[in-house]
Structure 1
Amino acid sequence: MAEAQIPVKVGVVLDMDAYGNMTFNCISAALTDFYATHDHYKTRLDLISRDSKGDVIGAAAAALDLLKNVQVQAIIGPMYSVQANFLISLGQRAEVPIITFSATSPSLSLLRSPYFIRAALNDSSQVGPIVAIVQAFGWREVVLIDEDNEFGEGIVPFMVDALGKAKVLVPYRSVIPPSATDDQIAAELYKLMTMQTRIFIVHMLNPLAARLFTKAKEIGMMSQDYAWITTDSVANDFNSMDPPSIMLGVIGVRPYFPKTKHLDDFRIRYKEIVQRTNPKSLTYDPNIYVLWAYDSAIALAMAAEEAGYKDLTYQVTKTSSNSTDLESFGVSLSGPNLTRALSNTTFVGLAGNFQLINGELQAPPYEIVNMVGSGASVIGYWTKENGIVSEPNFTSSSANAYYPTSKSNLGSTIWPGNKSSPPKGWVVPTNGKKLRVGVPVKVSFTEFVRVTWNSDNSTKVEGYCIDVFDAVMAALPYGVPYE
């Protein structure tokens, strides 16, 4: 007679829209695949889903219900950084691991909870490749455009610090709320058009990014003279942009993961899941967050078996009759062991090597992609050890992460306006004050400086010194209007 399997209750907190339902189905598929080849395991994860309803309160209520009424041993989720803060605190209080595959804000690491497991990349890990791109093209000023919430602002200190070390100025930071209207987005873009900097680094979630680039194209900012670089929150979804032409010429960075037979097989499975979840949906390849969700479920299944099968209950302490829900749930007796086992779990997943250090997934190399007519094209790769390289045959190097690199390692690139040459990065600002240059007026030796007056009382300044001055000003990596 077969030995009875031990159920381990696991909560899943997701926004149960079409994407959330599809992600939950992928997590379920991961466990089905895993237990099919590990039928000797005595434990089985039992998934209990809750809808976080797209906001912070919904995520908090879902987690409270799972901890108090279901007494789960772990929670997978939430989907977004803005929802994660309170859940991490609840996990710390109940000693239950909170495993996220998509909350990437660096600010979450500051909470320093041993029960927060980020099975995704910290956004600060992509600062290196973005700065390397800026250095490669010799741009000296950039403008940051980020989403006005915890996710958007989390990367800013790391980005500004890294750009400063590379001697790149950030003269302006544009902050756009997720609730901004199209007119408000346009107003902010028009403000950027009055400035001289034409290099923009965009860090926001895909829904807001799609609106930003749609409006930028409408008002003429997806044209020559402009360069747009996006973080992986946008680049991961390049191939699902509709239409892709709104982002023609945009450069993005996203995690590189090796193409394997396991991944090819999952792609077929993923299309079936999408079509079953939402038959009217267009089918795209799974993005990195789906792969991390799949790998998170595998890691948790392995850790649950390693942690053992005892004490799958809560120790509930007595509270006063007027206690709130925040005080009335207990502490998981298996949580510490499960967290330790999860932290030591390593395997090769769909998204590459799964290894946690200090509770976070370790950063792989990044690939640099360029939006062309039909979608994203890989034009290069980046590693902390080697900088920008043309092929994914990575070797070790003692180089510093922010050393200057060469654009020659990047493949053929299309820029906004369907141009093949990169923009210089600046134009003469429409609202800037002109530099006034005084020159001496001499009547004798005029080879160095010569001033003549025109009939309309304007002046004409010529001479060797003037030629040298004009050449120096033209060679600057930014525009300085002068007279």
Structure 2
Amino acid sequence: MDTFTFLAIILLLAQGATADVGRTNRSANDQVMRGGIIGAIVDNSSRFGKEQKVAMDMAIMDVKKKTGQSCGLNMTTSQTVVAAWDLINQQKVKAILLPHTWEEASLVAEIGNQAKIPVLSIADSTPLWATKRWPFLLQASPDQNAQMKAIAAIVDSWEWHQVTIIYEDIDSFRSGVIPYLSDAMREIGAEISNLVALSPFDSSSLSTELERLKGEQCRVFLVHLSLPLAMQFFVKAKEMNMMEKDYVWITTNPFTSLVHSLNASIISSMRGIIGVKSYYPQKDNHFQNFHTRFRKRFSFENPEEDNHDPGTLAMQTYDVVWTVCLAMRERSNGGQQLLHKIMLSKFNNVQFFDRKVARAQIFQIINVIGFIGKSYNELGFWSYGKGFSKTTDDRALYNTSMRHLRPVFWPGGPWTSTPRGWTSPSTAKPLRIAVPTQSPFKQYVNVEHDPLTNITNYTGFAIDLFRETVARLSFNLTYNFTPFDGNYDEMVEQVYLKKFDAVVGDVAIVAKRYQHAEFTHPYTESGLVMIVPVRTKNSNRAWLFVKPFTKAMWVLVGAISVYNSFVVWLIERKHHPELKASFFIQMGVVLCSAFTTLFSLQGGKLSSNLSRMAMMVWLFVALVLTQTYVANLTSILTVRRLEPTVTDVESLRNGNEMVGYSIGSFVENYLVEVLNFHRSNIKTYDSAQEHADALRRQEIAAVFLEVPLAKLFLAKYCKEFITAGPTYKVGGFGFVFPRGSPLVPYVTKALLNVSESGRLRYLENNMIASEKCSDGELVDEMSRLSPSSFWVLFIFTGSTSTISLLVYVVRKKRFGHKIIRKLALVVMRHWRHDKKTFPRKVHDKI
């Protein structure tokens, strides 16, 4: 015998099987009904109980009127299990309809299972295990768990990142919202910042809980309460000025489905609430007919109620009674057969699948406005798998954002802007921001305490950037810097433990720290580099004399020189007998003159003005080229060519070399776990100066620094050290906040604005400029001279020589044909007779 059976027996013995349980017999003089009798347990004191009673009576009357079938209905207002035993044993009901809450339904489910009587629950949510434990239990109302996805979609629409859940401290409300909402929030990247459980039996704690919530940053509240408790809650929230600007209140179906029943004085305390409730097609003829008749009957039976409209739960109850009556049209041999028939029956929106009605697919989004004549506006709908829409017909346009629905009346009035969903702490509690004191690079963050004035000064690039970022926020953010003397991982953990609200400094974004905190967009370049000393490259310098000019330059100088020499030789050969020597001698003269600085023929002078003109320009160009060559060669010979002492990480590991990193950094674990260094080969240093001294003493062979720190280090020691090897991909620096902090998206946006405005680059350049040093240029292709530097001179001398040559040829034109013909005959004759003496004989003939 389990707990439920034992409880039922005890109560039955205490009250007696014939006790008056407040039942109302609707069985028409106890005549035997062809269809049987339906039992129902209702709470006649609640709004839903009143709606439920009217809906069931209407269903029984309509079944008889439209089908001729007489179904009995026995209702009891008692909420005890004794009432269920009485309905089964005394009233001989064939099925039982249970109250609205699962707590009440679960007590009766065991009794129905023992008696093999179908029990239909119209609770919002029935646990998954319930129908397996009690085979005769049916969930007769659509499961509302899908509404948590609708709520998550609302949160995502307005870019809120945290939600506080306020729920009734009963099992069905805990299991019916928290697991499903947690999953839905995780899908959109939002978090549940707080869980607040309110007792349905003790309203005295409302002020205490609301006061605590008022001091929190999160301003988005999901209220999952029953109607009576929700009414008390919102009245108290109104008294504490929490229904004002910047607050967001979202309600679920247990309250929203009955908000139409509230009077004006209560509604006035709830202006601005966004509600999610199950949807019933109100334009349907079935609903319209039901709605008209329900209002008339409900107002007659409950004149004390201000609003006579039915809620969706009343319509669902009406459909459930119809479904059971249809299943009882033929007499059954027992509860098992009736259970089977109920599961096969279908009426309107009620059809069972695996002993449950299909989950709700469409939810209506409402906005409580609380004005005279209208308690709420219908903003639109959310459909499972589709999104938001203004209508539900075939022409509906769907969108993932609620922003495309009708305008929202937010708490505080329609003129208010969209709430950002959070607020900064009160002025008495500004943000407590940790600043590292052990940064090895004081240019990034520097903490100095003045003992005379007892004032701590915070300076550096990270501090300046944070101040610039805060200045660009759309709201006022108050904060205080607090020095932290510890390593960076410990500092990030303190944010997780809520001892700090943020961290500002040179904190690298790495995966390990994400389990404790959240980062803004990185404000520096990402990466990890190896820095090593430099040395002069001992390369072969024997060919340095050709380095001043490129290959193309050398070829062009040689070609123009030979060309100019040929032109001068051709013009001057008639005036100088020595130029009429053998062919080889004359070719030697041409080549020699091509590289002679001053052209002279054994001290003689040029005889032709044409040759003088060509030579004058040629000598000027040669002078420029000579002087440029000498200057560039001198520069090359005096510049040291530098190279890193270590080129890769493998050589460090193979040589068992010592390496260094900055104190407090994540780099140690990266060197061990990723780059496979032995921990005993790693040393830590407190400052850039210590890094440099250790490298000079060869205490370490290399130091590993994040890219932004490496820039500063090399700016100060650019003549001694250089980066080597690849850049390892790790996160840059970012500001740190607690996980799920609503500040992160706003600070990130402001940080991006600072970057896009150019202010970030300005601050970074100023920081690096303070450490900048100059160094000699290395010998590379950029220092070599090419023809592009002298093309004007080459064109000048080449064109001058060509003009001289053309003028000379024109003057000698009358002798041209004779010379060519004579030259051809001589060549042919001597080539045939004596090939060895051919060149000299040709020359003599010419």
Q: Aligning the two structures, in what range does the TM-score lie when normalised by the shorter sequence?
A: 0.7 to 0.9
Which residue matches 2:281?
Answer: 258
Q: What is the identity, as a one-letter code, of the residue corresponding to 2:299?
A: Q
Of residues 158, 164, 169 in structure 1, which corresponds to 2:191? 169
Partner of 1:317: none
Q: Is the 8 A contact 2:299 2:308 kept in 1?
A: no
- Per the alignment, residue 76 of structure 2 pairs with 50
Alpha-carbon distance, 1:380 to partner = 2.2
Structure 1: gaps (5+ residues): 312-333
Query: CA 1:86/1:46 → structure 2, altered by over 3 Å: closer, same or farther?
Result: same
Match runs of 1:434-445 below 5 Å: 434-438=432-436
Aligned partner of 1:366 in structure 2 is: 363
Query: Contact 2:158/2:403 (CA < 8 Å) preserved in 1?
Result: no
CA distance in 2, matches of 1:100, 1:173: 28
- AA aligned to 2:434 is R
The one-letter code sitting in structure 2 at the alignment partner of 1:405 is: T
Aligned residue among 250, 270, 289 for 1:247:
270
Summarize the Cα distance change of 1:152–1:460 in structure 2 as closer, same or farther, 3 Å threshold.
Answer: same
| Cα drift, residue 467 of structure 1 | 4.8
Q: CA, structure 1 residues 241+50, in 2 after alignment: closer, same or farther (shift >3 Å)?
A: closer
- 1:385–1:396: 8 Å Cα contact kept in structure 2? no
Contact 2:144 2:278 in 1 (8 A): no
Whole-angstrom CA distance in 2 between matches of 1:393 and 1:22: 28
Bigger Cα displacement from structure 2, 431-440 vs 134-143: 431-440
Residue 234 in structure 1 maps to residue 244 in structure 2:
no
Q: Judging by fraction of residues, say which structure has more helix.
A: 2
Q: Distance in 2 between matches of 1:150 and 1:99?
A: 19
Deviation at 1:280, TM superposition (A): 2.4
Distance 2:368 2:281 in 1: 21
Higher relative contact order (Cα pairs below 8 Å, separated by 6+ residues)? 1
Inter-CA distance 304–396: structure 2 relative to 1 (3 Å threshold):
farther
Q: SS of 1:173's equivalent? A: strand
In structure 2, the partner of 1:23 is 52
Q: Show the 5 A alignment for 1:77-88.
A: 77-88=98-109
The amino acid across from 1:355 in the alignment is: Q
Secondary structure in 1 aligned to 2:433?
A: coil
**Which residue of 404, 408, 419 maps to 1:409?**
404
CA contact (8 A) 1:381 1:392 kept: yes
- Say if 1:257 and 1:33 are closer, same or farther in 2 by CA, change over 3 A: same
Q: Write the distance in 2 (CA, Å) between the matches of 1:366 and 1:33.
A: 28
Is 1:64 aligned to 2:85, yes or no? yes
Q: Counterpart of 1:427?
A: 423
Residue in structure 1 matched with residue 307 of structure 2 by the alignment: 283
Cα deviation for residue 458 of structure 1 reads: 4.5
1:17: Cα distance to partner? 2.7
What corresponds to 1:376 in structure 2? Answer: 376
Residues 1:273 and 1:471: Cα distance change in structure 2 (over 3 Å): farther
- Once residues 171 and 438 of structure 2 are traced to their aligned partners in structure 1, the CA distance between those partners, rounded to angstroms, is 56
| Aligned ranges 1:172-321 → 2 under 5 Å | 172-181=194-203, 183-242=204-263, 243=265, 244-259=267-282, 260-305=284-329, 308-311=330-333
CA shift for structure 1 position 368 = 0.9
Alignment check: 8 A CA contact 1:92 1:114 kept: yes
**1:464, CA displacement in angstroms?**
5.8
Write out per-residue CA displacement over residues 373-414 of structure 1, whole angstroms, 9 at most, x where no aligned residue.
3312121211121122233236999x9xxxx93233222001
* SS of alignment partner, residue 391 of structure 1: coil
Q: Distance in 1 between matches of 2:153 and 2:478?
A: 26
| Distance 1:341-1:469 versus aligned 2 partners, 3 A rule | same
Q: Post-superposition shift, 1:274?
A: 1.9
Confirm or deny: 8 A CA contact 2:54 2:294 kept in the other structure. Answer: no
RMSD over equivalenced CA pairs, Å: 3.3
Q: How far apart are 1:193 and its partner, in Å?
A: 1.0
3-state SS, counterpart of residue 163 of structure 2? strand
- Structure 2 counterpart of 1:435, one-letter code: I
> In structure 1, what is the equivalent of residue 812 of structure 2?
none
Distance 1:158 1:18 in 2: 28
Q: Give the gaps of 5 or more residues in structure 2.
A: 1-31, 482-846
The corresponding residue for 1:12 is 40
Q: Note if contact 2:262-2:307 (Cα within 8 Å) is conserved in structure 1.
A: no
8 A contact 1:12–1:77 mirrored in 2: yes
Structure 1 contact 367–382 (Cα < 8 Å) conserved: yes
For residues 128-172 of structure 1, give each alpha carbon's deviation from its aligned partner in whole angstroms, at most 9, with x where no partner exists. Answer: 101111111111111100001123212222212222232211121
- Structure 1 length normalisation: TM-score? 0.81
Instruction: Return the alpha-carbon distance in structure 1 between the equivalents of residues 41 and 189 of structure 2.
Output: 42
Q: CA deviation at 1:290?
A: 0.9
Please tell me whether the aligned partners of residues 11 and 49 of structure 1 are also in contact (alpha carbons under 8 angstroms).
yes
Answer whether contact 1:435 1:482 (CA < 8 A) is retained: yes
**What is the aligned partner in structure 2 of residue 387 from structure 1?**
387
Pairing of 1:330-341 with structure 2 (within 5 A): 334-341=334-341
Aligned in 2, Cα 1:384/1:7: closer, same or farther, shift over 3 Å?
Answer: closer
* DSSP-derived class of the 1:222 partner: coil
Provide, for residues 106-146 of structure 1, a one-character-per-residue CA deviation record: whole Å limited to 9, x for no partner: 42654423321222122312111011111111111111000
Report the Cα offset of residue 267 of structure 1.
Answer: 2.0
2:275 is paired with a residue whose SS is strand
| CA distance in 2 between partners of 1:114 and 1:472 (Å) | 61
Partner of 2:345: 345
Distance 1:294 1:226, change over 3 A: same
What is the identity, as a one-letter code, of the residue corresponding to 1:267? H
Distance 1:273 1:108, change over 3 A: farther
Deviation at 1:281, TM superposition (A): 2.1
Separation of aligned partners in 1, 2:443 and 2:142: 67
Deviation, structure 1 residue 452: 11
Q: Residues 421 and 25 of structure 1: is their aligned pair in 2 closer, same or farther, counting only changes over 3 Å?
A: same
